[in-house]
Amino acid sequence: MNMTAASVISDQTWSRADLVACLQGRDEPLLLPLHFERCNFDEADLSRLDLRGAHFTLCQFAEASFDRALLSETRWAGCRARQADFGLADLTNARFQDCDLNNTQWTRAKLASALFTGVKLTGAHFAEVSALGIVFKDSLLVDAHLRSLSFRKQTLAQLDFSEADLSGCDFREAVFEGGSLRNAHLKLARFEGADLRDVDLGGLRLANAAQFKGATISHRQAASLVEELGLRVV
């Protein structure tokens, strides 16, 4: 194992047994969080493990299971974890930067104050999560399942929600800076006081415009809706 005094572990392939042995052999787990670089955890069963505070840089987690794992305060940078399962895991105050998390499962995970920046979350499934204070920035959430999440009063910077399930989401007083709501599912979503002038509303039909009651849209967006009736705006 390649480990330095700073507890950086690099270029290793890990099984559950290997990681359990590593965790059990540490003298000061709370004072010196583990830092994994370029490690491979593909398809590993990491369920219920205590990895609080760990750092993962450029690691692979394809189809890995983190079911019920303790992952609060973890840091993930440049990791690839397609189809990984984070169901029921505690990810309170976790940070994800420039990661591939496409088609991941987060059912009933604890995601309070978690931050996702520059992350690919296409097809990700966030069902029944505890997500007070969760933040997404400059991320792909295409076709993601995000039902009932609250984005109230947030600034939503460059978030692509195209075709995402946003049913019941709270966007009241949110400000969209770029991004897309094209063909998103918005049943019972709330937008009172939201600023939608800079977001792509492609696919919106006049018959469904009531979903955005109380929101602010641009003249260009309003013209697109009116043109659906065959009228020209000049």
Taking only the tens place, the pLDDT of each residue in 17-41 is 999 999 887 765 456 789 999 999 9
Both 85 and 59 in one domain: the answer is yes
Taking only the tens place, the pLDDT of each residue in 65-113 is 999 999 999 999 999 999 999 999 999 999 999 999 999 999 999 999 9
Both 70 and 1 in one domain: the answer is yes
Q: What is the CATH number of the domain that holds 169?
A: 2.160.20.80
Which pLDDT band holds residue 49 (cuts at 50, 70, 90)?
Answer: very high
- As to burial, measured by CB atoms within 10 angstroms (0-12 exposed, 13-18 middle, 19+ buried), residue 120 is buried
Both 117 and 163 in one domain: the answer is no
What integer best gives the mean pLDDT of the chain? 92
- Structure token pair of residue 198: 């800079």
User: Looking at the 3D structure of the chain, how many domains does it have?
Assistant: 2
Both 70 and 150 in one domain: the answer is no
Which pLDDT band holds residue 229 (cuts at 50, 70, 90)?
Answer: low
Of the three residues 88, 114, 140, the one that is the final residue of a domain is 140
Domain limits for position 69: 1-140
Query: What whole-number distance in Å separates Cα of residue 3 and Cα of residue 165?
Result: 43
3-state SS, 45-73, equals ECCCCECCCCEEECCECCCCECCCCECCC
CB 90 within 8 A of CB 67: no
- As to burial, measured by CB atoms within 10 angstroms (0-12 exposed, 13-18 middle, 19+ buried), residue 150 is middle
Element (H, E) at 224: helix 219-227
Lookup result for tokens 């929600």: 161
For residue 180, pLDDT beyond 90:
yes
Taking only the tens place, the pLDDT of each residue in 122-143 is 999 999 999 999 999 999 999 9
Task: Give mean pLDDT, residues 191-204.
Answer: 92
